[in-house]
Each structure stands twice: as structure tokens, then as C-alpha cells.
Amino acid sequence: MMPSAERPFTLVHANGERLAGLIHETHQDPVGIFLPGFASNMNGSKSRLLAEYAQNQGWSWVRFDPRGVGRSDGLFEQLTLSRYLEDLRLILQMLEKRPVILVGSSMGGWLATLAATRWPERLRALLLIAPAYNFIQTLFQTLSPEDQHRWQSSNLCCWQDHYGLGELRMRFDLVADSWR
């Protein structure tokens, strides 16, 4: 059972899309931020366990749903690394100039590493849990040339998720953005 010290927050992007999260605030630095993996949300087992541990230690902690996942606005098929990083930037703005520790799982580990190159002055440390560097490129390369072309020309590919989420619709924008 989660201690009740977390409070929900909602941040709004310039385009009006809302980003939902939970914060445990102790007003002590640094602030930990959990970056969930691909198609994961703030209610996943790692996210909940880390939040509970942080609360029990008296640490400030943030967990959130990237846009298109969980309680946040948007469609999953709009997911790109740049979009996820925009969500993280909005959270960093909420935390003002406070230093942070990013804890990233899988794709969240890849994003934490990218964030460290963009905002090194804000980061005190990274904790990466099985970072999935370039996994999108690996996924794309496993497809036949015909399927690669079909995904690129239609800008949409549907995948069956092996973790019970059902069909995941992904735009080619995800692949193109990961190249950048």
C-alpha cells in the first residue's frame, strides 16, 4: 500500500495537452524523477516501488505518465523520444532550478541519457535500469524491407504488445525521430 504523501499534479503544454503525474515533496534536494519504459506508466510496479521507497526515505520524488500513456493526454501512436523529452522538460520547469536524479527504466534509461546531454546543469545523477538504447532502430531493422517500406510510406504500424496492452499503433515518426 502506497503512503498517502503523494499529491497529483497536472502540467499543460503550450498546445493544451495535459501531463499527469504524482509528486512527493519534502522540499529537500535533489528531486528524483522516474522515467518509465516504452508503453509503461506511473502505476507500473517499478514506478510504485521506487515512489514508496523514496517516500519512506523522506526524498522528494516525481512520477508521471508521458503523453499518450495512462492519465496524460494524447495518443500513444504520437509517441516520439522528442515528445517524451518535452514532457520531462515541462517537469523540470515545474521543479524550477532544483537538481534532479533521473531514474530510467528501459526506454526511460535511454531518455535519461539523452536528458543528461541536454540539461547537464540540472542533473545530479542517473540511475539506469536496463537502458534500451536505440531499441526502436533495432526493432525497425528486424522488419523485412517490404514491412519497413510499408511502415514508412503509411506512417503507421500496428504491433501486438506482449505485456497485455493489446495492439500498439506506432507512427513512423517514432523511427525517424530516434534517428535524430
CATH number for the domain spanning 82: value is: 3.40.50.1820
38 and 86 belong to one structural domain: yes
Q: What is the pLDDT of residue 34?
A: 98
Confidence category of residue 162, pLDDT binned at 50, 70, 90: low
102 and 23 belong to one structural domain: yes
pLDDT, tens digit, for every residue of 35-82? 999 888 999 999 999 999 999 999 999 999 999 999 999 998 999 999
Contacts of 16 (CB under 8 A, 6+ apart): none
Q: 3-class DSSP state for residue 1? A: coil
Tell me what the pLDDT averaged over the chain comes to: 92
Looking at the domain assignment, is residue 1 inside a domain?
no
User: What is the mean predicted confidence (pLDDT) over 91-113?
Assistant: 96
Pairing of strands 100-105, 123-129: parallel
Task: Look up the domain containing 155 and give its range.
Answer: 135-180
User: What is the mean predicted confidence (pLDDT) over 118-124?
Assistant: 96
The Cα–Cα gap between 27 and 172 comes to: 41
